[in-house]
Amino acid sequence: MVANKKTGFITLEGIDGSGKSSIVGMLASALRKANVSVELTQEPTKTWLGDAVRRGYKEDISPYSEAFLFLADRATHTDWIKKKIADGNLVISDRYSDSTIAYQAALLHQKLGGECAEYLDYLTGVSKQIILEPDLTILFDVDPEISLKRLGNRTELEKFETLENLRLVRQNYLDIAKDNDRICIIDSTASLDTVRASTFEIIGKRLVVPL
Ligand code: TYD
């Protein structure tokens, strides 16, 4: 973490339905109350590059094209994040590089065969030049059977939201976490209140700001 504990870069990760998006708004208000200047962001971004990602996501394109669309969106997003941090903000991103590594490795494995581990290495390597290493990543970990039940309230499930795929994505996330001390895993099977409390505790400690 940089000298001023109230700036830096935090990412939130997890499979679909892991609850991270429910936490992000509460987290931003708590941080603002604690006088931390927060910039909330997400991937895919709300730019034309993010629109291109969402378009690719709906069409039947090569899984490599899809991976590179996510990376293209990220490269410009990283420039934006760096600028916001330089201006003294704490940037929190709902999804970032670990999403591509976990999700696209699963998709490449499913569509093209080969080992997930090889795709994990490949995507980690190709990401190096275009990312900013987060100071902290919170991984909201949940069994896909539970997350899919949560998503069941939605009318339509998206492409990645199958049990088989989310199992692979979850395992990829856990494998990435094994190699990275910046990643804190929160069991998000628990109630939203408990998950919120654990998230606030970890981030509060890291920033030296009681939340
Ligand atoms: P998102 O809008 O975060 O969905 P949700 O709010 O349901 O978490 O992300 C859309 C989907 O895109 C989600 O299934 C995860 C996937 N995704 C990737 O496959 N790779 C990536 O790099 C990112 C950022 C997202």
Average pLDDT over residues 112-118: 95
- Residue 90 region by backbone torsions, left for phi larger than 0, else alpha for psi between -120 and 50, else beta: beta
Q: How far is the CA of 4 from the centre of ligand 1 (A)?
A: 31
In the chain the domains, ranked by start, together with CATH numbers, are 8-207 (3.40.50.300)
pTM above 0.75, yes or no: yes
Task: Give the CA radius of gyration of the chain.
Answer: 17
| pLDDT tens string 82-96 | 999 999 999 999 999
Q: How far is the CA of 210 from the centre of ligand 1 (A)?
A: 30
Give the model's pLDDT for residue 155.
56
| 157 or 79, greater pLDDT | 79
Q: Which two tokens stand for residue 140?
A: 């909201």
Is-cis flag, bond preceding 210, omega within 30? Answer: no
Average pLDDT over residues 33-61: 95
User: Which amino acid type is present at position 196?
Assistant: R
Atom of ligand 1 nearest to the CA of 95: 24
